[in-house]
Structure formats: C-alpha cells, structure tokens
A and B are shown apart, each in its own frame.
Chain A
Amino acid sequence: MSMTILSIVITLLVVALLAKPMGIYLVKAFDYQQTGLDKIYGPFEKLLYKIGGIKQVNQSWKQYALAAVLANAFMIVLVYMVFRFQGILPLNPGDIAGMEPTLAFNTAISFMTNTNLQHYSGESGLSYLSQMIGILFMMFVAPGTALAVVMAFVRGLAGNKLGNFYVDLVRSITRVLLPIAFITGLIFVALGVPQTLEPTVTAHTVEGAEQSIARGPIGSFLSIKELGNNGGGFVGVNSAHPFENPNAISNFMQILLMMLLPTSLPFAYGRMVGNKKQGRVLFVSMAMMFVVLLGTSLAYEYQGNPILNDLGMQHDQGSMEGKEVRFGTGQSVLYAVVTTASETGAVNSMHDTLTPISGLITLSNMMLNTVFGGVGAGFINVLMYAMIAVFLSGLMVGRTPEFLGKKIEGKEMKLIAITLILQPLLILGASAIALFTPLGSDGISNPGFHGLTQVVYEYTSSAANNGSGFEGLGDNTSFWNISTGIVMYIGRFFGLVTMLAVAGSLASKKLVPETVGTFRTDTSLFGVILVGTILIVGALTFFPTLVLGPVAEFLTL
C-alpha cells in the first residue's frame, strides 16, 4: 500500500516535470515567426501545404471557425462511408461486415469530436482498414483540431491575429502528435503490445481446448489514443486488456501521455500572453483539484465493497471486481481519475463497477471538465471559467472586469454564459428524455440508484467529449447511437465557435493600461476564486443528480 502511494506520487511528479518543457515546445511549434523547428519540419510541411492547397495567411475568427467546423464535417462524412463499406474494402482479414447506419453515425462523430464513446467492440466490429484510415486518422485530426483552436484562442487573448486553421492543423500533426506517437508506439510494442496485420490466431490450450486470440496493429494505435486524449480502445475493454496495457510500465506511460498536453497548455498560454505567472496559477489551481479528487477516490476504493467484504474473503486489496491484478486498486484508481480529468476516456478498470464514491469522482471530473480537461477543449473551458471569475469579482466590487488588459463586456459574457449553460442542458436534458422513454431506460443493466448514474454518465461522457462509459449500459441501439451522437456534436462544436468569437472580439479591443486598481489575475487569491467559481457553478448544477445516483447508492450499500 505504501509502495503504491509512493509510485503514484512519483508518477504525478514526472507529469508535473514534463509539463513546462512541453509547454515551451508548444509555443515554439505554433510560432509563426521563424524558429529553430522550421529547419527540422519546414521542408516536409511546405510539401504538405502544397499538396493540401494551404496558403500561410491569417484568417478572421469567422473564417477560422468555419474552416474547423467544415473540415471536421467533411471528415465525418468520409469516415462514415469507410465504416459503412468496410465489408467490401481491402484489409479485412476477419471478414467483418459493413457497419449499421446509426452505429456508423455515432462512431464517426464520436471519434471526430475527440470523444471516442464506443458502441461497438473493436475485435468484431471494425476491419483493420477501418481501424486505420477511419479511427486512427480521426485520432490525429480530432486533437489536432483542438490544439489548433486553442492556439488561435490564446493568440486572440494575447491581442494577435488568430492564424490559419490549416497551418495549425498540419503543425499539430507534424510537430506534436506524429513524432511523439511514433516513438511511444514503438516503446509500447517493446513492452509487449502487439503490432501486426495478421489475423486472430487459434491456440490449443493446456487443458486441450481451443482459444482464439484477437490482435492487430495496437501499438501505433495506443500511443495516439492516449497522447491525443482520444481514449477509444482497439479492443473492446480498452486498456484493461492485457494486449492494450500489458504491465505497470505501459500503464505509467499511458498516464504520462494522457496528461502531457493538458498539463502543458497553461505553461504555453502563460508564455504566449506574456504572463508566465498566470499560467502557473492556472496549473496549480487545477493540480490542487486533481489531488483532492484522486485522494478521495483512493480512500474509498481501498475500503472495497462492504457487501463483498462481509463474505469472509481477504479484502485488503480493495474492490477487485472489474479490475486487473497487475494494476491493483491503486493504479486502477489513478488511471480512472486521470482519464476523466484529461477527458481521454481510456479505461484500465470497469468504471461501472467502481465503488459509488469513486464513480462519483469520475463523473464530477467530466461534469466540471476543467480539472485539466482534454487537449485544447479543456483548457479553453478553464479560461472561460477564469473570465467568469473575473466578471463575478468585478461585479462584487463594482468595477469593469478586465482580463489580460482587455475589458470583458456584455458581448463576451453573453457568449460565455450560453456556452456554460449548454453543457448541463445537454446532459440533464438528454438524460431526462432517456429516462422518460423505454427506448432509453431499457438500456439500464444495473437496477436501482446505479441505473440513473449509468444514464447520466453516458451523456456526461458524451457532452464532455470524454468517451469512457458505465459500459453495462446496453447502448448500441438506434436511440442511444443517435442521441449521444447529437450530444457529442453539439458539446464539441458549439463551444468551439463561441469561444473563437470571444477571442476574435477580445483581439480587436484596445488594451486598458494596468493601474493599482486593476484586479490581478496572476495571484493565488485569483486561483482560489477560480476554483471556487468552478466548484460553485458545477456543484449547483449537478449536485441533485449526484445525490440521487452515486450518493444514494453509497448510502444503501
């Protein structure tokens, strides 16, 4: 137990140590001025720009947003077609048939929105070709889009031109995602993750039975799945599968990759807006929330399930149902909290089977969507809350709120307010509809209070673009495929457009000179106000649902 705690502390220290250098690298990678990186990537990128028809010119916020939304829409259509026709396309050694329309709709949106909610099982639902030019392709362009948008957003806050979407997308891939995924993908294979195009093999077991063993090009898939905060598994049970996570070192690396971009963005931001201290304040605020949530979850999960504990077995391992022996309770809980904080959605244990308070914490991470959050999208959320915190503080002392020397006025606050209200509306509204009709409530597999949590978790995971699930839910039906598809799409693109609008609006404003009366946003006081704002807004919105779901289950165990 003490060893486990030590290993968790060391893991988190490594995460923290990598954040700043990665942030500095991101600033360089997306700098439009000549940098040393141009020597390495320049020639290759020039070629890509030429083939892609990309001009290195600045776009207005409207052009930028339109390019991002349309490009993503085109990719959704493209991949939808691949899924539908995979049965007759090449690279299909398992003879897997074309995907059913609503499932293909759901899956294409799911991967384009960086959600990776999976209503299919990878071993039997997708051909190798679909896994590669469908899923893998989107696992690059989805975080690439998010990284591009967050860079444009921060450029706007810093008072600069937003940049060019296509250039940013290409740079995300050539300078960040592809090189890191390539190297870590090979490391994963060295740790035991398969990387083959050969089909399933049949083994003759020790007891004389036959065992089919599914495999595939998993290593190259796994690295971008974690790095891009995608989270969709090559195989059905994701990183609980021994092939997708063979030992505690591969588990450690997956955690590092999930946290790498989300934790580095505050540092990149601080440098880009010329206020490093503010970047640090944001990082520390999020880290504190993370540590509190992780600690609580560990404490409850190690207590185990009281009903099973009463049956007389040794139970100092904690709750082992739905977990793997090689990870134990400690590494399973750490992974669960990291995957929901970073909105990755990969799992190495079954979240449905987590004890109620741990389930509540994974759910809260996604509802707040600001404890680091997914690559790009999460950090934009944090900045949105920072502006709300500034606005609320301004109201309390009766002064016009300013953020980074720009006045936050009615226009920005209206955009932020609708974006903020949209998330609970999507989650709670869709859950209410699902619970009203048998189409939705028939999917519930665990009776009682837990059933409510299953439904709410599914829509929270969709709206926050996380993608993990309480997987007992029978969710491969037209109702679930279409409803979660819509929730994922709105959850992703609505905020993307409104926040680019905020950035465009702020970029065009005049700088207000800083005076003694200016409310400083780079102090620990501001960090406290920010965390308070996040908790109050989040708690007020979701508290009743959490009481009816996980809290009620906890009290009745």
Chain B
Amino acid sequence: MEEKQKMFGPIIRTSFLIMVLCGLTYPLTVTGIAQAIMPDKADGSLIYSEENEIIGSKLIGQSFTDPAYFHGRVSSIDYDGASSGSNNYAPSNEDMINRTKESIEAWKENNPDTPISDVPIDLLSNSGSGLDPHISPAAAYAQVKRISSITGISVEQLNKLISMYIEGRELGLFGEERVNVLTLNLELKNMAE
C-alpha cells in the first residue's frame, strides 16, 4: 500500500463512470426487462376501446361532469394528466372553505334526494394529485339516486354494480376500500346502451 491516492483524476473519472452506470445502464436495463415481461403496466395501464383508441389509464382519474355518470373528486387541475398537483390550501384557508361550500350548494341542487349528511368528505375535497382515480364506496352510493333518476336504471341495479366494483384493502389489510370511477363509468355506459 505504498501508492498514493490521487485527488482529481479519480473524481472526474469516477463521476462519469457512475453517471453511465446509474444514470443510463440501470434505468435502461430496468426499462428493457419491464417492457419485455409486463408491457401493459410499464406503458401506464392504459385502457383501449374496441376501436383500439386510448380511453384513459386505469390509474389516472378522468373528469366527469355529466350528471348521468359517477363523479370523481374535486380536481383543481381538472384531471389534466400532463401535470399533477393541487392548491396546497392550508386548513385555515378561506378559498378552500368557500370552494367546499360551493360544492355543497351544487350538490344540493343536483342531488335533491340525497342529503349532504350522506356524502363522505372525500367526494367534495380536492385530492393531493388532482388525478385521484378513486372515490370511497360511500361516495359512489351517494350518487345512485341522481344517476337512477336520469338514466332510468334502477337503484338496486346501480347498487349492485357498485358493490361489484369495490376494490378491497390490499391483502385485506393495507389502504382503504375504494371504487375506480373510470372503470365503474365504463360499465355504467355499457349498461345504459
């Protein structure tokens, strides 16, 4: 061990070496393997129509405003999947409180048969990502009367539909019960046709 460690040569050489190893080789290898063995997931869990057009991604929420469909959560970015985010309101922020009050008024107008006390808070609050694909099962059930009165599909049928689409906790333990709004509405669309 008589040799001395040089200072600058190794800095430059090691930096470029690690840059190639960790910055290029690593992600490209993972991409290659992932694309080979699980291309659907690696591409973003996209949903295609019968005409092979992309309808959306199973993981990304979509904007639904038609009262005949189940609605998702509030999104300040209107479910624009090119970006992500929300307003980052403080709990004390007046703008957030006013927005929630407006949502409640709109709910009362569009859902005269379902009192606000049946509506869980997730439905009228902004998700963190602005792209939340899910609502709680209670938030889906709360919309059944409105959808039934517009589409003519019976309340029982709609309730049954929701119960089929409830995703449980992972391994029966982790996370929360939820309903994917996009897949639920796709099935609803089939029923209506």
> CB within 8 Å of B: which residues of A?
3-4, 6-7, 10-11, 48, 51-59, 63, 66-67, 70-71, 74-75, 78, 121, 123-124, 132-134, 136-137, 139-141, 144, 164, 166, 169-170, 173, 177-178, 181-182, 185-186, 189-198, 200-207, 209, 211-215, 217, 219-221, 224, 235-237, 240-243, 246-249, 251-252, 304-305, 307-308, 311-317, 319-328, 330-331, 347-350, 352-356, 445-450, 470-472, 553, 556-557
Contact (Cβ within 8 A) A450 B90: yes
One digit per residue, 1 when the CB lies within 8 angstroms of any chain A CB and 0 when it does not, for chain B 50-65 equals: 0001111101111111
Given contacts A51-B17, A52-B14, A242-B131, contact A317 B121 (CB under 8 A): yes
4 further A-B contacts with Cβ under 8 Å, apart from A3-B173, A75-B15, are A170-B18, A195-B42, A204-B49, A247-B175
Contact (Cβ within 8 A) A211 B80: yes
Kindly list chain A residues whose C-beta atoms are within 8 Å of the C-beta of B8: 70
Kindly list chain A residues whose C-beta atoms are within 8 Å of the C-beta of B130: 237
**Once the chains are docked, how many angstroms separate the CA of A204 from the CA of B54?**
6
Kindly list chain B residues whose C-beta atoms are within 8 Å of the C-beta of A220: 26-27, 30-31
**Once the chains are docked, how many angstroms separate the CA of A347 from the CA of B84?**
13
**Once the chains are docked, how many angstroms separate the CA of A140 from the CA of B27?**
12
Contact among A71, A201, A212 with B15 in the assembled complex (CB-CB below 8 Å): A71
Contact (Cβ within 8 A) A206 B30: no
**Once the chains are docked, how many angstroms separate the CA of A445 from the CA of B95?**
11
Given contacts A201-B54, A241-B84, A315-B121, contact A55 B138 (CB under 8 A): no
Contact (Cβ within 8 A) A166 B34: no
Question: A200's closest neighbor in chain B, by CB?
Answer: B82
Contact (Cβ within 8 A) B55 A190: no
**Once the chains are docked, how many angstroms separate the CA of A274 from the CA of B138?**
56
**Interface size for chain B: under 10, 10 to 19, 20 to 34, or 35 or more residues?**
35 or more
**Once the chains are docked, how many angstroms separate the CA of A556 from the CA of B130?**
28
Given contacts A173-B22, A241-B84, A242-B60, contact A314 B118 (CB under 8 A): yes
One digit per residue, 1 when the CB lies within 8 angstroms of any chain A CB and 0 when it does not, for chain B 122-140 equals: 1011111111111110100
Question: B65's closest neighbor in chain A, by CB?
Answer: A207
Contact (Cβ within 8 A) B173 A10: yes
Contact (Cβ within 8 A) B128 A235: no
Contact (Cβ within 8 A) A190 B38: yes
Contact (Cβ within 8 A) A304 B121: yes
Given contacts A213-B57, A314-B119, contact A133 B24 (CB under 8 A): yes
Kindly list chain A residues whose C-beta atoms are within 8 Å of the C-beta of B173: 3, 6-7, 10
Contact (Cβ within 8 A) B169 A57: no
Kindly list chain A residues whose C-beta atoms are within 8 Å of the C-beta of B138: 314
> CB within 8 Å of A: which residues of B?
1, 3-15, 17-24, 26-27, 29-31, 33-35, 38, 41-46, 49, 53-57, 59-66, 69, 73, 79-94, 96-97, 100-101, 104, 116-122, 124-136, 138, 169-171, 173-176, 178, 182, 185-186, 189
| Selected A-B contacts with CB under 8 Å, 9 pairs | A67-B7, A70-B8, A169-B18, A194-B45, A201-B54, A203-B81, A242-B129, A242-B132, A323-B128
Question: A190's closest neighbor in chain B, by CB?
Answer: B38
The 5 closest A-B pairs by CB, nearest first: A248-B175, A472-B88, A248-B174, A133-B23, A446-B90
**Once the chains are docked, how many angstroms separate the CA of A252 from the CA of B167?**
17
Given contacts A248-B175, A314-B119, contact A132 B44 (CB under 8 A): no
Contact (Cβ within 8 A) B132 A350: no
Taking the closest CB of chain A, its distance from the CB of B66, in whole angstroms, is 6
Given contacts A213-B44, A313-B121, contact A78 B85 (CB under 8 A): no
Taking the closest CB of chain B, its distance from the CB of A129, in whole angstroms, is 9
Kindly list chain B residues whose C-beta atoms are within 8 Å of the C-beta of A4: 176
Contact among B29, B91, B189 with A356 in the assembled complex (CB-CB below 8 Å): B91
Chain B CB within 10 Å — which of A133, A141, A252, A320 has the most? Answer: A320
Given contacts A321-B126, A448-B92, A553-B92, contact A206 B186 (CB under 8 A): yes
Kindly list chain A residues whose C-beta atoms are within 8 Å of the C-beta of B133: 242
Kindly list chain B residues whose C-beta atoms are within 8 Å of the C-beta of A350: 86, 88, 128
Contact (Cβ within 8 A) A471 B30: no
Contact (Cβ within 8 A) B63 A121: no
Kindly list chain A residues whose C-beta atoms are within 8 Å of the C-beta of B30: 182, 185-186, 189, 195, 217, 219-220
Contact (Cβ within 8 A) B81 A214: yes
Taking the closest CB of chain B, its distance from the CB of A240, in whole angstroms, is 4
**Once the chains are docked, how many angstroms separate the CA of A201 from the CA of B170?**
29
Taking the closest CB of chain B, its distance from the CB of A242, in whole angstroms, is 4
Contact (Cβ within 8 A) A201 B44: yes
Contact (Cβ within 8 A) B101 A311: yes
Taking the closest CB of chain B, its distance from the CB of A253, in whole angstroms, is 10
**Once the chains are docked, how many angstroms separate the CA of A235 from the CA of B83?**
8
Contact (Cβ within 8 A) A249 B100: no
Contact among B35, B104, B178 with A311 in the assembled complex (CB-CB below 8 Å): B104
**Once the chains are docked, how many angstroms separate the CA of A248 from the CA of B64?**
25
Kindly list chain B residues whose C-beta atoms are within 8 Å of the C-beta of A449: 92
Contact (Cβ within 8 A) B65 A326: no
**Once the chains are docked, how many angstroms separate the CA of A308 from the CA of B169?**
27
Contact (Cβ within 8 A) B7 A136: no
Kindly list chain A residues whose C-beta atoms are within 8 Å of the C-beta of B45: 192, 194, 246
Kindly list chain B residues whose C-beta atoms are within 8 Å of the C-beta of A57: 1, 3-5
Taking the closest CB of chain B, its distance from the CB of A26, in whole angstroms, is 19
**Once the chains are docked, how many angstroms separate the CA of A51 from the CA of B56?**
47
Contact among A190, A206, A324 with B41 in the assembled complex (CB-CB below 8 Å): A190
Question: A166's closest neighbor in chain B, by CB?
Answer: B10
Taking the closest CB of chain B, its distance from the CB of A116, in whole angstroms, is 16
**Once the chains are docked, how many angstroms separate the CA of A224 from the CA of B27?**
11
Kindly list chain B residues whose C-beta atoms are within 8 Å of the C-beta of A447: 93-94
Taking the closest CB of chain A, its distance from the CB of B170, in whole angstroms, is 4
Contact (Cβ within 8 A) A52 B13: yes
Taking the closest CB of chain A, its distance from the CB of B59, in whole angstroms, is 4
Question: B99's closest neighbor in chain A, by CB?
Answer: A321
